[in-house]
């Protein structure tokens, strides 16, 4: 039975990864700034899941936790996530994403961790130069979030070169499904449609971005964790397709008849209090490298993913 440390285990992706690891019998130590409801439920349901309050920026606490019970591998999900949060809190973004990852990598190499899988982001690419891009696309991030995630990738390479620590980066796009804590599309449309509330986004219909259903992302994370020998240290994980927001709204309307939702013309903007930040051009992620290395095969196209998501929200998820 492997022992996996999951950082950010109370969050959207961290909790889903923790659930999947526990379900297959791995032992999981889940850490986060607070043991939120999702992680608390997992620790209650699975004897193999232990939850701790532990900040990745706090060396003494993190080192003591890993010294007492060193994990074999780490799935690194803890971060200040997303463009709006990073524009509002750039210092905190760098403190947690870059400083926290540095602390984690240092502890990982000192306490004999075999592999760290870091959830990176398509924001490290900056504006997409084609409709569908692979991992060789230039990385020119333009906002604090993407810049911080690219810094983590580079730091991972430094630890590999200097100390032989294996760090694998999974660049994913917009992950959706029950449990996302942020009001981001398609969550905003799905929640409104299921609740019978009107929701009209003033812009964004033309925005094209790869949307990955949470179950596919988790399957990719486990694939990368288990892969015997990684031929690369960075992989795209996505659906391989980039539907427009107009298409997404259309599918939700079909799946929830009578849904009073729409997206206005034009490109997408991230809403912030008193301001909005235009999204850079995005598109689809080519996932051939992850398929070749560890068999990653997305099972959910956008229609199947939205149907599963709507069913989960109807059943009481969020
Ligand atoms: N959700 C997406 O669409 C998406 C897309 C691309 C990349 N990612 C990456 O995936 C990872 C997980 O994202 P998510 O969507 O689950 O976000 P999330 O906000 O739901 O989870 C992140 C978790 O990290 C925790 N955290 C923050 N600071 C911490 C600290 N100092 N110490 C310990 N924990 C801390 C938060 O409390 C939160 O529970 C992040 O690295 C993110 O950059 C997410």
Spacing of C-alpha 159 from chain mean position: 22
| pLDDT score for 276 | 81
Identify the residue whose C-alpha is closest to ligand 1 atom 34. 32
3-13 confidence digits (pLDDT tens): 999 999 999 99
| pLDDT score for 181 | 83
**C-alpha of residue 239 to centroid of ligand 1, in Å:** 20
Atom of ligand 1 nearest to the CA of 34: 37
User: 206 — alpha (psi -120 to 50), left (phi > 0) or beta?
Assistant: alpha
| Residue 207, φ and ψ in degrees, nearest 5 | -60, 125
In whole angstroms, how large is the CA radius of gyration of the chain? Answer: 19
Atom of ligand 1 nearest to the CA of 100: 31
Best probe residue, ligand 1, of 5, 6, 7, 11 (max atoms within 8 Å of C-beta): 11
Residue 291 CB burial class (10 angstroms; 0-12, 13-18, ≥19): middle
CB 105 within 8 A of CB 167: yes
**C-alpha of residue 54 to centroid of ligand 1, in Å:** 14
**C-alpha of residue 164 to centroid of ligand 1, in Å:** 26
44-92 confidence digits (pLDDT tens): 999 999 999 999 999 999 999 999 999 999 999 999 999 899 999 999 9
Best probe residue, ligand 1, of 6, 13, 174 (max atoms within 8 Å of C-beta): 13
**C-alpha of residue 216 to centroid of ligand 1, in Å:** 17
Best probe residue, ligand 1, of 58, 63, 78 (max atoms within 8 Å of C-beta): 78
Q: What is the 3-state secondary structure (H, E, C) of 45-87?
A: HCCCEEEEECCCCCHHHHHHHHHHCCCCEEEECCCCCCHHHHH
- Other Cβ atoms closer than 10 A to 237: 28
The pTM of the full predicted model, rounded to 2 decimals, is: 0.97
**C-alpha of residue 183 to centroid of ligand 1, in Å:** 14
The single residue listed with the structure tokens 């900040």 is 55
| pLDDT score for 292 | 98
| pLDDT score for 194 | 97
- Other Cβ atoms closer than 10 A to 111: 17
pLDDT in tens, the chain (318 residues): 899 999 999 999 999 999 999 999 999 999 999 999 999 999 999 999 999 999 999 999 999 999 999 999 999 999 999 989 999 999 999 999 999 999 999 999 999 999 999 999 999 999 999 999 999 999 999 999 999 999 999 999 999 999 999 999 999 999 999 998 888 899 999 999 999 999 999 999 999 999 999 999 999 999 999 999 999 999 999 999 999 999 999 999 999 999 999 999 988 888 888 778 888 999 999 999 999 999 999 999 999 999 999 999 999 877
Identify the residue whose C-alpha is closest to ligand 1 atom 6. 121
Ligand 1 pocket list (CB less than 6 A): 7-8, 10-14, 31-33, 55-57, 77-79, 81, 96, 100, 119, 121, 149, 172, 174-175, 181
Identify the residue whose C-alpha is closest to ligand 1 atom 12. 77
| pLDDT score for 138 | 98
**C-alpha of residue 258 to centroid of ligand 1, in Å:** 34
* Distance, CA of 105 to CA of 156 (rounded, Å): 7
**C-alpha of residue 82 to centroid of ligand 1, in Å:** 9
CA–CA distance from 187 to each of 22, 62, 182, 292 (Å)? 26, 33, 8, 31
| Residue 126, φ and ψ in degrees, nearest 5 | 70, -150
| pLDDT score for 317 | 72
């Amino acid at each position: 039975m492997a022992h996996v440390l999951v950082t950010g285990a109370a969050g959207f992706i961290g909790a889903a990864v923790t659930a999947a690891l526990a379900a297959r019998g791995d032992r999981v130590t889940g850490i986060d700034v607070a043991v939120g409801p999702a992680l608390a439920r997992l620790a209650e349901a699975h004897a193999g899941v232990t939850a701790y309050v532990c900040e990745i920026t706090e060396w003494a606490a993190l080192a003591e936790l890993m010294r007492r019970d060193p994990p074999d591998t780490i799935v690194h999900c803890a971060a200040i996530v997303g463009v709006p949060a990073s524009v509002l809190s750039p210092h905190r973004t760098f403190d947690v994403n870059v400083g926290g990852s540095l602390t984690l990598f240092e502890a990982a190499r000192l306490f004999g961790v075999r592999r760290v899988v870091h959830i990176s982001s398509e924001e490290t690419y900056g504006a997409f130069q084609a409709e569908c891009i692979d991992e060789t696309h230039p990385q020119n991030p333009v906002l604090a979030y993407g810049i911080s995630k690219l810094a983590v990738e580079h730091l991972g390479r430094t630890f590999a070169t200097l100390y032989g620590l294996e760090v694998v980066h999974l660049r994913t796009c917009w992950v959706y499904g029950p449990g996302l804590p942020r009001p981001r599309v398609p969550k905003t449309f799905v929640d409104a449609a299921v609740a019978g509330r009107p929701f009209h986004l003033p812009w964004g219909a033309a925005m094209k971005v790869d949307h990955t259903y949470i179950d596919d992302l988790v399957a990719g994370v486990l694939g990368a964790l288990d892969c015997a020998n990684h031929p690369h240290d960075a992989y795209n994980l996505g659906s391989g397709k980039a539907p427009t927001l107009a298409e997404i709204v259309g599918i939700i309307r079909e799946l929830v008849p009578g849904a009073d939702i729409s997206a206005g013309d034009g490109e997408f903007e991230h809403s912030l209090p008193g301001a909005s930040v235009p999204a850079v051009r995005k598109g689809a992620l080519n996932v051939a490298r992850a398929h070749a290395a560890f068999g990653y095969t997305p099972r959910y196209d956008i229609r199947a993913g939205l149907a599963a998501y709507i069913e989960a929200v109807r059943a009481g998820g969020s």
